């Protein structure tokens, strides 16, 4: 799996998890403060789309995850 795919999977997972924990209608509701984490992930995705800077991508590259799929 490439860095881009990992970033998409992590972002989607954390958004869904924080929504499940932060929305009162959810059976696993914990606190509405979890919605701030959803906001953080969304804002980070937005800024990385404009700037190309993504902390998770930097960490994954340092851990040796390949950047592109082999042809």
How does pLDDT run across 43-67, given as a tens digit for each residue? 999 999 999 999 999 999 999 999 8
User: What pLDDT is stored for residue 36 in this prediction?
Assistant: 97
User: What pLDDT is stored for residue 24 in this prediction?
Assistant: 95
The model carries a pTM of 0.82
- What the block records as the tokens of 31 is 């606190």
Task: Give the C-alpha separation, 28 to 31, whole Å.
Answer: 10
Q: 53 Cβ partners below 8 Å, 6+ apart? A: 47
Report the C-alpha dihedral over residues 36, 39, 44, 45, rounded to 10 degrees: 150
Residue 71: pLDDT over 60: no
User: What pLDDT is stored for residue 8 in this prediction?
Assistant: 94
User: What pLDDT is stored for residue 69 in this prediction?
Assistant: 73
- What the block records as the tokens of 62 is 């340092």
CB 6 within 8 A of CB 66: no
């Amino acid at each position: 799996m490439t860095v881009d795919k990992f970033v998409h999977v992590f972002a989607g997972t954390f958004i869904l998890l924080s929504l499940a924990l932060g929305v009162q209608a959810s059976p696993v509701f914990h606190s509405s403060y979890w919605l701030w984490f959803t906001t953080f992930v969304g804002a980070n995705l937005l800024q990385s789309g404009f700037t190309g800077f993504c902390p998770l991508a930097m960490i994954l590259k340092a851990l040796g995850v390949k950047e592109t799929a082999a042809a």
